[in-house]
Every structure is written in structure tokens, then in C-alpha cells.
Amino acid sequence: MAIFTHILRFVSKYLPLGFTLHFVFGLSVSASVDQNNLSLDDVLEFTVEATDASENPQVDISPLSKNFLTISGPSQQTNISWVNGRMTSTRSLSWTLSPKKTGHLYIPALAVKLGKSNLKTNPIKIQVLKKASRYKKDDSPNHFIQVLVDRETAYLGEQITVTYQLFTRTDLSIESVDLPEFVGFWTENLYSPRQINMREVSLSGVRYKKAKLYSVALFPTKTGKLSLASYTVNAKVFVESKKSKRRDPFFDIFDTFSSRQSVRKVLKSEIKSIQVLDYPNGKPSDFTGAVGSYTIQTSVDVNNVKANEAVTFYIEVNGSGNLSLFSLPDLTFPSTMEVFPPASEIKKDSFRDEITGTMRWEYVIIPRQPGKFNLPRVELPFFNPKTKNWKRAKAHSILVSVAPGTNLSSSPQGLTKQEVALLGKDIRYHRTGIPKWNQGKDISLIVVVFYSLAACGFIFPGIINSFQDKHLQGTGIRQSKKALQKAIKSIKNLRDDQFDLCAGVIYTYLKERFYLKTDILDPSTVSILLENVILSEELNELVELLNRFDAGRYSPQSSGLDGNIISTAIGVMNKIDRHG
């Protein structure tokens, strides 16, 4: 009994240690491929296997991206086997890889993490041929991707048209496509079909099925030698399998269905190089990057306006070239005109694989003073790569006549309209008819009343004037005190055309609250009149708001305001109201 107890203590003490040693020293990882010799359009299966691991291995495959393209993966698999009473478990991860180039390639030793253990796989050597050995009897490949480049030398910004076409002698299905990264180019898609359409063609006397895969316009953005990466297609190719030796007609019926098998292929186009040249001498100082052939024209919606009314100035550029890669030169407008940031749009069309289109700019301009003004003459310098010289598209300046605005005429003696209305009550007109004088000697009651009224007019003029002054002053004070309340009530009831009406409410509030004796109110006038009345910080905020209202009236997308327009206006009026 003592011996049994001793054995039991020994087992309980050292058995966990044995399992731990087995777990640590039994861990191993290995890497393998299904083939070491393959062609450039073939794929290989790369597998990392961990033995006696309690979890799946974590593998860093980033070093593979130098020589291989990952088509799919990883796929996981777990196997458990018993040999002579001993259990062995393996966990594996597999990837489908495609070589990027020919020659001797290496799959380096990869870092693998198993729990807290860090291990490495064995390196593998791969031989990649340009063409598979089965093609030796026929120099014509069964399938390939052709890349067509319309020019291999181009100027900076000049269009280069690249087209990729698929040729195949066997049936295949495209599973995925990997578009190349055109480093150093601005791209514009010309053709990218949703469905591939095949048609029969003859190439060097060999019959093929041909499909146009992709067409793109490239505009180089830097000089030097630039490379066009491969266009990659991951496909399943259907090939004939070995025929059965049986000659039974019954089984030959089923052989027709089993004689074809699919093989995964990765087709890559040839890598092309483009030599990009810099512009020749004579580049204009106002050149903004336009390359191609262009014309320009300008117009306005009206040629005759009044002060403080908007004019829309249109600039339109038509032509072919790098439409998305240049802008207009800086324009200088008359100083008496307020110019808002332009709204622009571009319409493109790929006519015969050439990018053509129209670029349009719309400037909203508000003349602040009457007179005749010339809008700036617009010129666009560009480089024409076909003629290899510099050209300039020109548009003549446009004359705009600005008449005085209806709100520029002030009231007599600087009075407001309300004061004029009050004074108008005192105006009496002379009688133009011949009066019927009293021929009698007695003075009638009418005459007495008439002279009494005339005497009152001479005796009490001071009293009347004093009453009018106090009445006018009281009216202004009452309006000033109620200006904010009135403005807030009006602005909250706005529904449509908020920019225009909201600006009108604020101008009315400013006149009533700060006793402004003029109807000529715009952002610059408000800034001058209230310069010494309210704080400069609040004044700047008010002027900025009024400018943004003007922008919203004529070009809402340029104002920069969102749905909080009412609350913004109320907040500004609350800040400045205490200075009234």
C-alpha cells in the first residue's frame, strides 16, 4: 500500500511537467508548395503547417509581396492522426500565389507566432519560366493579355491612351481582375465593361477569341521614365483531360462530360515604360498646367444694371486635354465691384478615346458704385503637344454699365421716410381760384375766423415746432427700443428666400436701433457708420454675416451658411443690441 501511494505521488508530481515539455519541444512549423517549377501565368499553393499546436499559426506573409501576388487565402485546415497510440495534430494555412516575374524566385523564411512561441519557416526556391513547356510545339500561346500604348514618349500632362485586350484559344472564365496602379499619372477611365464580350479574330494566322478588357487615359504628372504595371486577370481555364482507354460506346457518352477540367491561371500583361518629357523653353509666367488644345469665351447675363444689383460673369473653356489638371489664371476685377468665389463645373466626353469637354466658371459680381466698368480680359496659356509650341486662348473684356440704384437717392435734408411722412401732414397748398371778397361793410364771421387762425399761426409757431420735435424724437426712441423685438419676430416668420429677407430685416433693425439717417446700407456702409458705436470684434462679425447673406442671395452654394441661418442672425443682433 505504501508503494502504491509513493507511485501515485510521483505520477501526480511529474506528469504535468512531461506534458509541458512535450508541448514546448513538440511544436514545429514547416512551409511547402505544390510545385517548384511553373510558368508566369501559373499559380502555386503555398502552405504553412504547424505540428502539435493548440491554435492556428499567425503568419506574416508581407515579405511575399515582392515576388508574388496573393490570389486567395488563407484557407484553414486541421488534421488529427493516431500512430502507435500517439496523437499528432497539425494546423495549416494555405495561400494561392502567382509569380510577378520570371527567373529564380525565393519564398523567404517567414515569422510564425504560436501562442507565446515565435518560430520561422524554411525558405523555398521557385523556378518561374516565361512560357510553359507544353507550348514548345507551338510558339503561339493559348491565352495572353495584350497591352496597347498609343505613344511611348509624351510631354508632361499629355494624354496617353492605354488599352488591354484578352486573347484566348481555349474557353476560360474570369474570376477577378487586378487593375494596375499607375504611379505618376492622373487617370481617366475610357472603357470598363461590366461584361466581357468575345469575338473571333485572327492574329498572325492563329485563330483567337478576343475581348477588350480596359481602356484608360493617362496624364503624366512628373517627368522621367515611368512604368505601367501589369494588368492581372485571375481566371479558370478549361482544358481537355486525358481520355479513358475504355472503348465502350456506353461509357463514351459520360466521357464527353468528364473530358474537361478547369485549371486556375493568372494572366498578366507586359510591363511597359513611358518616357515623359518636360515642357520646352518659353513657358509663360501665368501658365497653370493646361496641356492640349483649347478655346475660351466669356459672357454676362446682363450688360446694364443698377448699383448693388448682381451680374453673373461666365467663363467657358472648351477643348481636349488634361481638363482636370489646370485652373484659370488670377483675374483682377475693378475695385468698386464685390466678387464672390466662383462656382465651377466640368463636363467630359471621351470622343474617340480622347478626353474632350467643357469647363465653366460662374462669378457673381455686385457693383457698388455707378459708372462704366470693363470686366477683366481672360487669357489661358496652354502647351499644344501636337505642334510642340505654346499658345494662348483669349476672350475679350466685357463692358458693364452701372446706373445709380433706386435706393441711392436720400430724402431731403437727410430725413428718413418716416420723418418725411410726418412733415407731409403740415403741407398746405395755396388756393388758385379767385376769391369772392365780401362787398359789405360788416365783417362777417368767416373773416373773423380766418384772421384769428392766421394770428394763431404767427403766435404759436414755436409751440407747434416744439411739439413736432418731441413727437419725432419720441417715435424714434420707441422704435429703437422695440427694434430687436420686432426684428426677431420678423426673422422667425421667414419661410422662403431666407438670405434676401433676412438681410432686409437686419438692415431695418440697424436703422431703427442706431438712428441711421440713410437708406444706402450695404456691408461696407454699415462698417463705416457703426465703427465707433459697437465693438470692433462684434462689428466684424456683423459685416461678415451681411457679406455671407449677399453671397447667399446670388449664389447660395458660395455663402457657407447651413440650416442655422436664423439662429445665427438672432445671435449677432443680441450681441450688438446693448450698444444702442
Concatenating the DSSP letter of every residue in 269-290 gives PPPEEEEEEPP-S---TT--S-
Contact 58/113 with Cβ under 8 angstroms?
yes
pLDDT band at 130 (very low <50, low <70, confident <90, very high): confident
Task: Identify which has the larger pLDDT, 296 or 257.
Answer: 296
Averaged over 316-326, what is the pLDDT? Answer: 93
Cell 512549423, residue located: 29
Give per-residue pLDDT as tens, 329-388. 999 999 999 999 999 999 988 777 889 999 999 999 999 999 999 999 999 999 999 999
Question: How does the average pLDDT of the chain come out, rounded?
Answer: 79
In angstroms, the CA 164 to CA 400 distance is 53
* Adjacent-strand bridge partners of 104: 127
CATH of domain 140-244+255-276: 2.60.40
Band (5; pLDDT cuts 50, 70, 90): low
Q: What percent of the chain has pLDDT over 90?
A: 30
Q: Which ranges in 219-367 belong to alpha helices (H)?
A: 249-258
Distance of CA 108 to the CA centre of its chain: 42
Lowest mean pLDDT among 109-118, 303-312, 512-521: 512-521
**Per-residue pLDDT tens digits for 182-208:** 999 999 999 888 888 889 888 888 889
Would you state the torsion angle of the CA atoms of residues 571, 576, 578, 580, taken in this order, to the nearest 10 degrees? -140
Query: Considering only CA atoms, which of 432, 541, 422 is closest in space to residue 472?
Result: 422
**pTM of the complete model:** 0.56
pLDDT at residue number 372: 93
- Report pLDDT for 430: 55
CATH topology (fold) of 286-403:
Immunoglobulin-like (2.60.40)
Query: pLDDT digits over 69-91, tens only?
Result: 887 778 888 877 776 667 777 88
Closest CA to 31 of 45, 44, 46: 46
In this structure, of 146-150, 184-188, 474-478, the range with the lowest mean pLDDT score is 474-478
Closest CA to 291 of 307, 302, 305, 280: 280
CATH 1.20.1440.130 fits 27-133, yes or no: no
Gyration radius (Cα) of the chain, Å: 44
* Cα-based distances in Å from 362 to 6, 331, 339, 557, 561: 99, 13, 11, 12, 19
